[in-house]
Amino acid sequence: MKLIKRFLKEKKMYDDNNIFAKILRKEIPCQIVYEDEFSLFFNDINPQAKIHVLAIPKVPCIDFSDFVTKNNPEVISSFFLSVEKVVSKLGIRKTGFRIVSNSGSDGGQEVPHFHLHILGGEKV
Ligand code: AMP
């Protein structure tokens, strides 16, 4: 199993069994905040702020670069416009928020499906 994970990482292949892929297939439950054709937003299981929502596109993509280089502009813009929609829905547009995307091992990425952390509801 460890060997397979290393192979996938080195080859930069999408791991269909990562936890967010399972969430997208509804094999694992999550607290949905918003969902549309291209994206899913749900509460982080280990929140680092009063509001900590994860945003994931529904296409298989490992990280930020993978997402923006392998998808058409409609998918990419739809995802980021949905982020804006959710920021508004969460009521944090005026008070402020932080959006973070960890990428790769130096970036501290744990789940190899591109995601944004949306943090707010207090000073972060
Ligand atoms: P990262 O380190 O950027 O890959 O972040 C992964 C995030 O996913 C962490 O903040 C975890 O708390 C969160 N996480 C892991 N499993 C789940 C889950 N089943 N439901 C919601 N959030 C999760």
What order do you get walking across the sheet with 32-35 strand by strand? Answer: 32-35, 39-43, 51-57, 116-120, 97-100
What does the radius of gyration of the chain's CA atoms come to, in whole angstroms? 15
The DSSP letter of residue 44 is -
Would you please indicate which residues are annotated as catalytic (active-site) residues? 115
**pTM for the whole structure:** 0.93
Residue 6 pLDDT more than 90? no
List phi, psi (to 5°) of 6: -65, -40
Output the residue whose Cα is nearest ligand 1's atom 18: 45
Q: Tens of pLDDT along 49-69?
A: 999 999 999 999 999 999 999
Q: Which of 17, 19, 25, 99 to mutate to test the pocket of ligand 1 (most atoms within 8 A of CB)?
A: 19
Is residue 4 in contact with ligand 1, taking CB distance under 6 Å?
A: no
- Sequence length of the chain is 124
Q: Tens of pLDDT along 73-85?
A: 999 999 999 999 9
